[in-house]
Structure 1
Amino acid sequence: MLRVEEIEAGYGGARVLRGLSLSVAAGELLCVMGRNGAGKSTALKAIMGLVRPSAGRILLDGVPIEALPAHRIPRLGIAYVPQGRRLFAELTVAENIEIGLMTRGRGTETRERVLSLFPRLRDRLAQVSGTLSGGEQQMLAIARALCLEPKVLLLDEPTEGLQPSMITLIRETIMALKSTGVATVLVEQRVEAVLSIADRVSFVVNGATAETLDAARLTPDAPQFRQYVGV
């Protein structure tokens, strides 16, 4: 589905990604873990065309996309929920959802399916999104992304700063998406959350993939978490 092959990228003269590779198949959840500054968020931005790789390839269903402009990537079916949500804060919940639907020309059926995943948003359609709670804003960010009916979903620390009930809801939603064939790349730092939902875990160090393992082979006290994620 999605393959990233030895990409290099950065900001100005600062190189962040140094030959990073990863892949995720339909219906699979790949978790990307690493210390702050390892390049996890930059990798997602590179996939979305927001950071241009200087080397390497990014392929969707075998077709290179690394040279495409950023506005083309979502239309191919790659949805992105960035860290910090990045909602249109002055627009209502309904308007944010409508923007998601417009990206790939989806309509009422998609809207209803997305709202069925987040019933709380249905009760707040007329509310300005900037006035939602943190958990509700994260719901809306994910809902807007799902309005693309994506093949691939990129999630950058979606549970950061949320209360346990919201974390559980988002985890259940991600698991439900797996069953529909969506390929999910999740950046996450919470070990227990990762092991409960991931199929594979890629550990990123200094802008490169150090190791990728089946989640079933890992336990919370596995040495990889201390080596690649611990402070």
Structure 2
Amino acid sequence: MLEVAGLDAGYGNVQVLHGLDLAVAGGEVLCLMGRNGAGKSTALKAIMGLVPPAGGAVRLDGVRLDGLPAHEIPRHGLGYVPQGRRLFAELTVAENLEIGLMARGHGAPTRERVLGLFPRLRERLGQVSGTLSGGEQQMLAIARALCLEPRVLLLDEPTEGLQPSMITLIRDTILALKASGVATILVEQRVDAALALADRIAFVVTGRIAETLPAAGLAPEAPAFRAHVGV
């Protein structure tokens, strides 16, 4: 289980997270929702060490990860797909996947399992990633993270700007990972997507978790969405 306790983080003198607490177990999808600027993306970056925490703790099965250099954290089994994908655009699909494999020393069997989730990438292994469509780039960003064979996957708005067929593919991939025991923290703005994927929804307000509710008990018109997301 990934546990985040009392996490403080920000940028320079601007504090964004104020004692943020959350936990996600294997085979569970936890969705972070909130208005723009609430701290959702910063929470993922702080868990990954990309924004150094100023206080609190991040533990994976009891092992402290906060304070580690950012490049060490993926080696403990955390995969991260940032908003905007952040591929190596000048490298091929195969080369981007190879970078993911190197992080934890995985090889061809892992690559084959990942390509089994994204057959379209197999057809484009030699293609420069910057020339892929937006949906294909998102596939590659997720595939690269999965080359870590992560125990926990952090996804920051993976369906943003994608056509419905790509959204369906990414949803199915997240559900397949859930079935395999991977824990997922998902930042999502679309209520319908959150309800289709999440086990629980944590509402982030000014850098704190205001409340966490089971997704099964929520409808799109639920008061929590109106109060914390503005829809």
Q: Same fold (TM over 0.5)?
A: yes
1:194 maps to what in 2?
194
1:59 maps to what in 2?
59
Aligned residues between the structures: 231
Q: Gaps (5+ residues) in structure 1?
A: none
Alignment of 1:212-223 (within 5 A): 212-223=212-223
SS of the equivalent of 1:50 reads coil
Alignment of 1:151-162 (within 5 A): 151-162=151-162
1:79 maps to what in 2?
79
2:142 maps to what in 1?
142
Amino acid corresponding to residue 8 of structure 2 in structure 1: E
Amino acid corresponding to residue 76 of structure 2 in structure 1: L
Alignment of 1:122-133 (within 5 A): 122-133=122-133
1:48 maps to what in 2?
48
Alignment of 1:2-17 (within 5 A): 2-17=2-17
**Matches of 1:64 and 1:88 in 2, distance apart?**
30
Shift of 1:64: 1.2
Amino acid corresponding to residue 162 of structure 1 in structure 2: L
SS of the equivalent of 2:120 reads helix
CA shift digits 1:116-166 (9 cap, x unpaired): 100000000000000000000000000000000000000000000000000
SS of the equivalent of 1:171 reads helix
Q: Gaps (5+ residues) in structure 2?
A: none
Shift of 1:53: 1.0
In the alignment, structure 1 residue 226 sits paired with structure 2 residue 222: no
1:96 maps to what in 2?
96
Q: What's the Cα RMSD here?
A: 0.6
Shift of 1:196: 1.0
1:118 maps to what in 2?
118
TM-score, structure 1 as length reference: 0.99
Identity %: 75
SS of the equivalent of 2:226 reads helix
Amino acid corresponding to residue 198 of structure 1 in structure 2: A
SS of the equivalent of 1:53 reads coil
1:36 maps to what in 2?
36
1:165 maps to what in 2?
165
Shift of 1:63: 1.2
